[in-house]
Amino acid sequence: MSLDQDLANALKSDWRTAKLDERDQAMLIYVEKITQNPVSIWRDDMNTLRDAGFDDTSILQITLIACFFNYINRVADALGVGRE
């Protein structure tokens, strides 16, 4: 969470343009990979997150939150929520 409007706008537009530290960038690369191609996640991805400072509990939390949002968005899309 941030009150920085420039950061919020950059994140909405394209997170790669936002001024993020290496830890947040590593997390978002992982989340993007989960979203676009989850079967491509491998041990290397976990090691990259560990190298960025995340422990196993944090990696699990990141994974669960990303997957939950992906799930809910797919359910909403399938049911046509927001298309009216």
pLDDT for the residue numbered 31: 97
Per-residue pLDDT of the chain (84 residues; tens, 9 = 90+): 567 888 888 888 888 888 899 999 999 999 999 999 999 999 999 999 999 999 999 999 999 999 999 999 999 999 999 876
Give me the residue spans of the domains in the chain: 21-79
Confidence (pLDDT) at 73: 92
Model pLDDT, residue 5: 87
Dihedral sign, Cα of residue 4, residue 10, residue 13, residue 16: negative
From its phi and psi, is residue 53 left (phi > 0), alpha (psi between -120 and 50) or beta? left
**Per-residue model confidence (pLDDT) at position 1:** 57
Alpha carbons 31 and 66: distance in angstroms, whole number: 6
The model carries a pTM of 0.84
21-79 to CATH, choices 3.40.50.620, 1.10.540.10, 1.20.1290.10, 3.30.300.130: 1.20.1290.10
Q: Where do the H-state alpha helices sit in 1-84?
A: 5-13, 22-36, 43-51, 56-79
